[in-house]
Structure formats: C-alpha cells, structure tokens
C-alpha cells in the first residue's frame, strides 16, 4: 500500500487567501470549498473529496516552501499547522508532512 502523494507548494504565498487558493488547487477541492480554516479542516478530513486512490491507499500531503509564509504570517501559520494536525487526527489515512529542504 502506497500513499497517494499531493505536494502543497507554498512558494510565493504571502497570506491566508493565497494559502487557501493553493490548497484548493493542489488538493483538487470542490468548487464549494469555503476558503476558510474550518472548510480546510473539513475538506482535509473528508475522504469523499480526496483525489484518486487516496481513500484506499492513504493521502500524504507534503507541504513545501512553507518557511517564508511562516515567517511573514506566524499567527496564520500556527493556525494552518493546527488545522493540518486536527485533520490528520480525524482522518485515518491522512498524513501531512512539512518538507524541511528546498526553502528559499
């Protein structure tokens, strides 16, 4: 069993709106995605909106280039991490990993 891997690249993200747009694209979220913290948590933990074979194999979301956003918006980044953690706790098969290399 191999996880379905989605890369969430935050390169160039400077605010919450940008983060939500990037999440919507990377995770192929439905049009009804509300672009707020609760909607992100709900979408991440809802296997019904996961891509492809992720429900059967697990979903690994790799967050890249997050450090500039974290530095520019530390309170938002703290909330984002809480949302990722809560969703991973709520959804069996979901893993969110922060990539440590390649940040500019």
pLDDT in tens, 45-99: 999 889 878 888 899 999 999 999 999 999 999 999 999 999 999 998 999 999 9
pLDDT in tens, 15-25: 999 999 999 99
Q: Report angle CA 61, 79, 22 to the nearest 5 degrees.
A: 45
In this structure, what token pair is assigned to residue 80?
Answer: 């984002």
pLDDT for the residue numbered 102: 55
93: exposed, middle or buried (Cβ count in 10 Å: 0-12, 13-18, 19+): middle
């Amino acid at each position: 069993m191999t996880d379905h891997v989605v890369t969430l690249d935050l390169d160039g993200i400077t605010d919450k709106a940008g983060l939500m747009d990037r999440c919507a694209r990377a995770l192929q979220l439905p049009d009804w995605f509300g672009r707020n913290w609760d909607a992100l948590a709900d979408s991440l933990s809802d296997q019904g909106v996961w891509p492809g074979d992720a429900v059967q194999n697990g979903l690994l979301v790799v967050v890249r280039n997050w450090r500039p956003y974290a530095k520019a918006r530390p309170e938002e980044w703290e909330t984002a991490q809480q949302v990722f953690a809560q969703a991973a706790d709520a959804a069996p098969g979901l893993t969110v990993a922060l990539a440590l290399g390649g940040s500019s």
